[in-house]
Amino acid sequence: MSATFSRLRRIHTSDDFGGIDLDVIDAGTPGNPVIVLCHGWPESKHSWRHQIDPLVDAGYRVLVPDQRGYGSSSAPRDVAAYRSDRLSSDLIALLDDVDAEQATFVGHDWGALVVWDLARYHPDRVSGLINVSVPYTPWPMQPTEMFRATYGDRFFYMLYFQLPELAENELDADVARSLRTVIWSGSGETAVPPPPTDQLPPMAGTGLLDTWGSAAGVPDGLPAWLPAEDFHEFVNQFKASGFFGPISWYRNLDADWALTKDLPAPPMPTTFIGGDKDMVIAHRMEYVESMTVMLPDYRGHVIIPGAGHWTQQEKPAEFNAALIQQLNTLL
């Protein structure tokens, strides 16, 4: 048997946009079951730093990519390059590179959205799913149409992200401030109920940072769970990549819906992990419960007390225990 290893390497995939290079942490023993950890927004492979060694110790070969548009991975300047079928193809290319027929996929935030779609595009390549923060909730209609019906002329960040150049210009102007504001706004320490829609500021003339900064309060410093050196790693990665690629994932919401709306639900064994202070689910836990009906082989969920949106970073010990527990339920 080959020795256990951990290394950062670059994988090249074919693509309509000239080919994509992905930076990937590859850890564990060749031949062991493969698990792929898929980050969200605005994160990177570094957001899984607490999970790699425990998963290797549990007997997995662990692949952790900087996905398309993030870090030093390829970042095409075409919005259509970030459709979920193309992001899913990147993940399948990771399996092909290590000669794995199947893998368990774990997705957080936008990584969860991509993994939900991946499991519908390529069910034969997915042995199991553990998604984090974002439940399986198929859009009942075109997403941006639904958002406009819900929010009217009030500010909603996913609609703001549809506007050309505004969001990336705002966030690129001061990457450290942008990341610090977004991180605090989702952290369990500053979790607050969402305001009523009619109390949101108008879309016209409103930016993301003032809105989220006001909602979260943005304390001085960083959350206790995020050491300065880890925060600076994220800052350096986003200074390298910019925000165009990551925001372009949002700009494909309607295109992704059109591609997936007629596909069946993921058929493979599936579980979910969330935090009880996560802004995505804390005030709509019925979406978590609904997976017991919508997914044909749903095997339950773990909700971690005190964890906010950055679940695997905020409560790594509790998350890792839940992750290993959920992996055992998929067997």
Last residue of a domain, one of 249, 268, 291: 249
Given the residues 39, 46, 301, 309, select the one marked as catalytic: 309
Dist. CA 22–CA 100, nearest whole Å: 17
216-270 pLDDT per residue, tens: 568 889 999 999 999 999 999 999 999 999 999 999 999 999 999 999 999 999 9
Tell me: do 10 and 130 sit in the same domain.
yes
65-100 pLDDT per residue, tens: 999 999 999 999 999 999 999 999 999 999 999 999
| Residue closest to 155 by CA, chosen among 194, 185, 113 | 194
Whose tokens are 């969402």? That residue is 194
Last residue of a domain, one of 249, 275, 297: 249
Tell me: do 44 and 116 sit in the same domain.
yes
Domain encompassing residue 206: 143-249
Active site residue 109: yes
Q: Per the structure, how many domains does the chain have?
A: 2
Mean pLDDT lowest for which of 15-29, 55-69, 108-122, 315-329? Answer: 15-29
Last residue of a domain, one of 216, 249, 282: 249
Sign of the four-CA dihedral 295, 300, 306, 310: negative
Radius of gyration of the chain (CA): 19
- Give 6's pLDDT tier (boundaries 50, 70, 90): confident
174-218 pLDDT per residue, tens: 999 999 999 999 999 988 888 899 999 999 999 999 888 765 568
CATH (domain of 26):
3.40.50.1820
Tell me: do 238 and 180 sit in the same domain.
yes
What is the full DSSP assignment across 145-185?
HHHHHHHTTB--HHHHTTSTTHHHHHHHTTHHHHHHHHHHH
278, 137 Cβ separation under 8 angstroms = no
pLDDT over 90 (residue 2): no
| CB crowding 79-106: b at 16 or more within 10 Å, else e | bebbbbbbbbbbbbbbbebbebebbbbb
Given the residues 23, 109, 117, 278, select the one marked as catalytic: 109
CA dihedral 324→48→210→163, nearest 10 degrees, is: -100
Tell me: do 65 and 176 sit in the same domain.
no
| pTM (2 d.p.) | 0.97
Tell me: do 232 and 290 sit in the same domain.
no
Tell me: do 202 and 118 sit in the same domain.
no
235-250 pLDDT per residue, tens: 999 999 999 999 999 9
Tell me: do 293 and 225 sit in the same domain.
no
**Chain centroid to CA 78: how far?**
20
Tell me: do 86 and 130 sit in the same domain.
yes
Return the pLDDT at 1: 38
| Residue closest to 45 by CA, chosen among 19, 21, 26, 20 | 26
Tell me: do 94 and 124 sit in the same domain.
yes
At 147, the amino acid letter reads: F
Tell me: do 104 and 40 sit in the same domain.
yes
